[in-house]
């Protein structure tokens, strides 16, 4: 039983790692629905800034997940 638990945790972490992008997109979509507002007066640099913000958010989420995974691994 002791050997099964760490292996099952590793499998769960692997599944989560493989699907982190999907989970992040779901979370972002839920947040977007909360703040679903059309802004028509955006300049091109505003769109670039927004793209950078989304990319940074995804990087932070991956870093948090990796950190938690490393803490869980013995």
For 14, 24, 60, the CA distances from 8, given in Å and listed in that order, are: 10, 23, 26
Measured CA to CA, the distance from residue 9 to residue 4 in angstroms comes to 9
The pLDDT, as a whole number, for residue 37 is: 61
Q: Which residues of the chain are modeled with pLDDT < 70? A: 1-5, 32-40, 74
Percent of the chain with pLDDT over 70: 80
The pLDDT, as a whole number, for residue 27 is: 74
Measured CA to CA, the distance from residue 11 to residue 42 in angstroms comes to 44
For the chain, how big is the Rg over CA atoms in Å?
17
- Which of 27, 10, 23, 4 is CA-nearest to residue 69? 10
- Which of 63, 67, 65, 44 is CA-nearest to residue 55? 63
The pLDDT, as a whole number, for residue 34 is: 59
């Amino acid at each position: 039983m002791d050997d099964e638990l760490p292996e099952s945790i590793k499998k769960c972490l692997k599944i989560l790692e493989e699907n982190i992008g999907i989970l992040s997109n779901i979370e972002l979509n839920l947040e977007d629905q909360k703040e679903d507002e059309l802004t028509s007066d955006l300049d091109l640099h505003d769109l670039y800034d927004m793209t950078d913000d989304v990319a940074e958010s995804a990087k932070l989420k991956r870093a948090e997940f990796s950190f938690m995974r490393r803490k869980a691994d013995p």
